[in-house]
Amino acid sequence: MPDADADARDLHPEPARRSAHFTASFVDEVGVEITYYAWTVEHPKAVVQIAHGLGEHGRRYEALARDLNAAGYSVYVADQRGHGATGLAQHGGDRSRLGRLGVGGLQATVDDIRQLGVEIAREHPEVPLVLLGHSWGSLMVQILVNSPALVHYDAVVLSGTAYRMPGHMDGGDLTRKHRPAGARSGNGFEWLSRDVEAQQRAASDELMFPAEVLKLFGVLDGLRLFGRPAKRLAADRPLLILAGDDDTLGGQRSTLKLAEAYRRRSRLSDVTVRVYPDARHEVFNETNRDEVVADLVAWLDERVGGSA
């Protein structure tokens, strides 16, 4: 029999949500001006706050933000200390100094993520807030969610992440595994994605630079990236972990170890893991990005998408 409800949906499709994009800033607790970008929709299901990785910047997430807008989610992402517009302002426009975090170092950068969350929660008091961290951003998100004195995040997503202990997280040369045999034939960004166009976009981006932790942060801040999930976190906070099994930072073994720690040590009751075969570090820029985005949207819809 014909599906009358389906026919009605075809005749009266859900109207597209209007979206808006803006750039703004806030001054952090030690006086650094943090630039951030927002892609917002009317009556969002939730707001997704993104913390980007080392050596990149917030505008690289515009395509993901647009996809999430189409699914009914607003998105905020800052250029973190030492990166993008924030880093250029810190260092007088000197691109050679990008990556230097400035006064307060890593802890101040973690605090900036929290402070942006407070700003978002103030602007959207009745809307669920999701924190998505990628790569270095995901390591700082792990540090952040270990602390109880935070703005409340309703859900957490980690991508391109790792279990933050020796033997499970590669802090060395992340490019070496995927570097072509001929030294002159590579672009230096093969480790990010199998998608050659994505590699080339990264290579031509003047605001991107090598993710060399010890060179940029020094030994002390480099060591502060290590740690493990805290005991007995908020058990009802959903967690999604997205990873490529060919990611040089962590990969499948490290990702599964991290998920197990959140289940057993932190006692989280809702931990979901998606490991994509042959995918590399940036799953949102991979050849199967449509699959990854669809998985993210489906997970968001199930956990926080029912309020709009």
DSSP secondary structure string, 20-41?
A: EEEEEEEE-TTS-EEEEEEEEE
43: burial class by Cβ within 10 Å (0-12, 13-18, 19+)? exposed
pLDDT computed for residue 6 by the predictor: 45
Q: Once rounded to an integer, what is the mean pLDDT over residues 170-195?
A: 73
Three-state secondary structure call for residue 234: coil
CA separation for the pair 171, 247 (Å, rounded) = 13
pLDDT computed for residue 285 by the predictor: 98
CA separation for the pair 32, 54 (Å, rounded) = 18
Task: Dump pLDDT digits (tens) for 17-36.
Answer: 677 899 999 999 999 999 99
With residue 216 as reference, give the H or E element that holds it: helix 213-224
pLDDT computed for residue 236 by the predictor: 87
Residue type for position 186: G
Angle, alpha carbons 106-235-277 (nearest 5°)? 70
Q: Once rounded to an integer, what is the mean pLDDT over residues 159-182?
A: 74
Rounded percentage of the chain residues whose pLDDT exceeds 90: 74
Domains of the chain: 4-303 (3.40.50.1820)
Task: Dump pLDDT digits (tens) for 37-91.
Answer: 999 999 999 999 999 999 999 999 999 999 999 999 999 999 999 999 999 999 9
Helix ranges restricted to H, the chain = 4-11, 62-70, 84-90, 105-123, 136-145, 196-204, 213-224, 251-264, 289-303
Three-state secondary structure call for residue 170: coil
State the pLDDT confidence band at 300, using cuts at 50, 70 and 90. Answer: very high
Say which residue the tokens 């969350």 belong to.
Answer: 117
pLDDT computed for residue 2 by the predictor: 44
Q: Once rounded to an integer, what is the mean pLDDT over residues 263-292?
A: 96
Q: Which residue numbers are catalytic?
A: 135, 247, 281
pTM for the model stands at 0.90
The mean pLDDT value of the chain amounts to 89
Q: Once rounded to an integer, what is the mean pLDDT over residues 112-122?
A: 95
177: which DSSP letter?
G
CA separation for the pair 92, 97 (Å, rounded) = 9
CA separation for the pair 158, 52 (Å, rounded) = 11
CA separation for the pair 12, 54 (Å, rounded) = 45
CA separation for the pair 299, 238 (Å, rounded) = 10
pLDDT computed for residue 9 by the predictor: 41
Q: Once rounded to an integer, what is the mean pLDDT over residues 222-248?
A: 92
Distances in whole angstroms, Cα of residue 288 to Cα of each of 87, 193, 195, 299: 31, 10, 9, 17
Can you read off the two tokens belonging to residue 207? 């605001």
Handedness of CA 268, 133, 62, 105 (dihedral sign): positive
pLDDT computed for residue 42 by the predictor: 95
- Within 10 A of 292 (CB to CB), how many other CB atoms are there? 22
- Going by C-alpha positions, the residue among 226, 249, 100, 243 that lies closest to residue 176 is 249
pLDDT computed for residue 15 by the predictor: 54
Three-state secondary structure call for residue 156: strand
Q: How many CA atoms lie within 13 A of 86 on its CB side?
A: 32
Three-state secondary structure call for residue 272: strand
pLDDT computed for residue 122 by the predictor: 94
From the CA atom positions of the chain, what is the Rg in Å? 19
Task: Dump pLDDT digits (tens) for 134-152.
Answer: 999 999 999 999 987 666 7
State the pLDDT confidence band at 234, using cuts at 50, 70 and 90. Answer: confident
State the pLDDT confidence band at 177, using cuts at 50, 70 and 90. Answer: low
Q: Are 255 and 161 in contact (CB under 8 A)?
A: yes
State the pLDDT confidence band at 107, using cuts at 50, 70 and 90. Answer: very high
Say which residue the tokens 């991107």 belong to.
Answer: 208
Of residues 167 and 281, more confidence is placed in: 281
Is the pLDDT confidence value at 13 over 50?
no
